[in-house]
Amino acid sequence: MESGIQPPSPSAVYLTVKQAAQTLQAFFNKFNNDWVMGFASALAFNLITAILPMLIAIVAIVGFTLQSLDPLAEQQLITHLQSIFPASGNFLSIAFASLKRNAGILTAIAILLALFGGSRLFVSMEGYFDIIYHTRTRSIIKQNIMAIIMLLIFIVLAAPMLFAASIPALLQVILQDTVLNQLPGSGFFFGLLSILVSLCISWVLFEAIYIVVPNQHMSFRDSWLGAVVAAVLLQLYLLLFPLYVAHFLVSYTDKIAGTTGLLVILLFFFYYFAVILLLGAEINAFFAKGIKATPDNLAAMVHNLTSHLPTTEKDMHEQATPSHKQQNQRIYARRARQRAKKGSFRSPILKRRLL
């Protein structure tokens, strides 16, 4: 008599694969009906418009940090940023030198600009999340409080994410006279540590966004999966984006002026970042909250709501599309003639006009 665990039958494997395929199809339907790719374009534009006030606040913090940063670590950070944005040229080196001199002034400007300009990003982001989670928007006061809180969290976490790239140089400076720096493979270990630190910080950032921004009660249990997926995808994206720029965008941006070329690269960068951000929110909504796809995409739902669901002729006339207005006018005219034949109208003059 043989003992042990019996392998699953082919029918059980087939049912498992079929169920997984149906789940993925349902998730894709929700992803598509929520217009995630279209909203990613809008969110990328929101990031571009909000990046200046947020960048001023971030670089103000960077300016204070650079005053005490080792030159080798500073150069490592500049090199890392230039690898992500090749079109930046010597702009980063000049900017970092200026930051050391003007950190105090930038901090004062950042407080004024970032509170309003930067917080608009999270107001827009809440609108996209409201569609993903099928919720109403917050009131104006609560919405702005949420946006300011998220702005402060973003500013605090963005600077460490940038400086995670300088961890290998910092550790080499600190450990240059120790045995650890002489061990084989120490450079690989320090580079891996940099990725892990950046991964943890980005996970905390996504976790904060997925808990605070939606107008929906979100616990850690409801948000951790989307945050993990988004953080991992972001780190892979940061590693692959320089290759994408070098092979596909450099020939295009070389034909454009330096600053404009950098803006084009930023737009591409923020677009795919927005896709990752909204994808994580979709994962939380679908798998954690059990929110399924809407009956149709947003355009079709608006069409049905305005052209087929209004209960009065006045609402139909004001809300429906022009083609439906003409069609419904004929329907209402026919109904009116039917009521006139049955004697529903008290006015004989109106009755004669309809008949």
pLDDT at 198: 80
Query: What's the predicted TM-score (pTM) here?
Result: 0.71
Mean pLDDT of 272-286: 95
Across the chain, what does the average pLDDT equal? 75
Of all residues in the chain, the percent with pLDDT exceeding 70 is 53
pLDDT at position 181 over 80: no
Name the residue type at position 82.
Q
Q: pLDDT band at residue 1, thresholds of 50, 70 and 90?
A: very low
More confident residue, 228 or 251: 228
Residue 70 in this model has a pLDDT that exceeds 80: no
Between residues 49 and 141, which one has the greater pLDDT? Answer: 141
Task: Give the pLDDT of residue 353.
Answer: 47
The DSSP code sequence of 103-153 is HHHHHHHHHHHIIIIITHHHHHHHHHHHHHHT-PPPPHHHHHHHHHHHHHH
Q: Residue 74: what pLDDT?
A: 57
Q: What's the pLDDT at 354? A: 44
Confidence of residue 212 (pLDDT cuts 50, 70, 90): very high
pLDDT at 222: 93
Condensed to tens digits (0 to 9), the pLDDT of residues 23-68 reads 999 999 999 999 999 999 999 988 888 876 666 666 655 555 555 5
Residues in the chain: 355
| Residue 63 DSSP SS3 | helix
Dist. CA 355–CA 168, nearest whole Å: 88
Query: Which tens digit of pLDDT belongs to each residue from 281-333?
Result: 999 999 999 999 888 888 888 777 777 666 666 666 666 666 665 666 666 66
Residues 6+ apart with CB under 8 A from 219: 211
**Where is pLDDT greater, at 207 or 105?**
207
Q: Quickly list DSSP for 256-298.
A: S-HHHHHHHHHHHHHHHHHHHHHHHHHHIIIIIS-----SS-H
Return the pLDDT at 271: 92
Question: Quick check: 227 pLDDT over 90?
Answer: yes
